[in-house]
Amino acid sequence: MSAIVNLPITDWQQPFSAELQDQAIRALEHGDVLVFPNLSFAMSESESQFLSPSIIGKSKNVSFDINNGKLQGSSVDENATVLLQQMMHRYAVFSKGLMDHLFPQYQQDLIQSRTSYRPLEIAGRTTSWRKDDTRLHVDSFPATPVQDKRILRVFTNVNPTGKPRSWRLGEPFEKVAQRFLPNISGPAWGARGFLNAVGLTKSLRSAYDHYMLRMHDSMKADLEYQATVDHLAYEFPAGSTWIVYTDHVSHAAMAGQYVFEQTFYLPVAAMHDEQQAPQRILERMTQKALL
């Protein structure tokens, strides 16, 4: 099962020793969760207006793309939109800074994707089983193939009343794969081209994407598995930050409100040890190149 590795820093721009960088990258790639219990994200007084579920429209979060400055999912007025954009931008910059300081080996290849702010309480929210993140899963998204990349995420719990973000961490990836892979058939010939041509995917769904998506779905659909599988319940305190490869670590978010999240992609080839990548693990198990 994933281990929790605590790093007691308080500053997003704090330098790390080479020894700590080495320990951190090994732990992260092995499937541990790196937790910074005292690394919070300060919100100004005017930003505290965003500590309300009413700032979003129909979506479940506000999303921001630092590459083009685009903000989506909010329902605030024009003045507040600028402020919200600045806040999201600041989180994007801080989380990138943390990555660069902790994982200089990734810096050249790390791709910064969406920043999200999630002001809704998770517990009791109703969604379809496929979108239900209170069920253990590994991340894989139907419309967004990753192909040869990893999904690496930074989270910060900014809950103002001290409520933790309660997660479950499931069994190791190999075990998840041993359990579900035998019942998953390979991609249908021609399916990836079709899905892409009709706009159901944003790029071609690789064989790896296919297996990951089926594993994600199989895990969530299996209520017996959800109820009985070994897991660790972990509460990320308010005012804490954590980093995890969510394509590797089986996880579920059970309760909590107000969290920031920054998604990064990293090509498998840029890892310190690419043999630990889910893609490589599944390739060993299927004895196929999953391209």
Sites for Fe ion among residues 132-161 (CB under 5 A): 139
For position 212 contacting ligand SIN by CB under 6 A, the verdict is: no
Binding mask 256-285 for ligand SIN (x = CB under 6 A): ---x--------------------------
Q: Shortest approach of Fe ion to residue 151 CB, angstroms? A: 9
- 253 neighbors 169 (Cβ within 8 angstroms): no
- 268 neighbors 149 (Cβ within 8 angstroms): yes
Please work out the total of residues on this chain that contact ligand SIN, with binding judged by CB under 6 A.
8
- 219 neighbors 250 (Cβ within 8 angstroms): yes
- Tell me the C-alpha distance between 30 and 236, whole Å: 20
For position 121 contacting ligand SIN by CB under 6 A, the verdict is: no
**DSSP structure class, residue 144:** B
Q: Which partner from the list Fe ion, ligand SIN, none does 159 bind, CB cut-off 5 to 8 Å by kind?
A: none
**DSSP structure class, residue 175:** H
For position 253 contacting ligand SIN by CB under 6 A, the verdict is: yes
Q: Which partner from the list Fe ion, ligand SIN, none does 259 bind, CB cut-off 5 to 8 Å by kind?
A: ligand SIN
- 45 neighbors 55 (Cβ within 8 angstroms): no
Quick one: CA torsion of 60, 62, 67, 70, rounded to 10 degrees?
110
For position 235 contacting ligand SIN by CB under 6 A, the verdict is: no
For position 219 contacting ligand SIN by CB under 6 A, the verdict is: no
For position 247 contacting Fe ion by CB under 5 A, the verdict is: no
Binding mask 87-126 for Fe ion (x = CB under 5 A): ----------------------------------------
| Of residues 192 and 264, the one with the C-beta less far from ligand SIN | 264
- Tell me the C-alpha distance between 40 and 71, whole Å: 23
Q: Which helix (H) or strand (E) holds 283?
A: helix 278-286
Among 90, 96, 114, 118, binds ligand SIN (CB under 6 A): 118
Please state whether beta strands 33-36 and 4-6 pair in parallel, antiparallel, or not at all (unpaired).
Answer: parallel
Among 156, 246, 250, 263, binds ligand SIN (CB under 6 A): 246
**Which residue bears the tokens 């308010």?**
238
Q: Shortest approach of ligand SIN to residue 104 CB, angstroms? A: 26
Among candidate residues 250, 284, 244, 281, the one with its CA nearest the CA of residue 264? 244
Please give the residue ranges that form the binding site for Fe ion (CB under 5 A): 139
Please give the residue ranges that form the binding site for ligand SIN (CB under 6 A): 118, 133, 139, 165, 246, 251, 253, 259
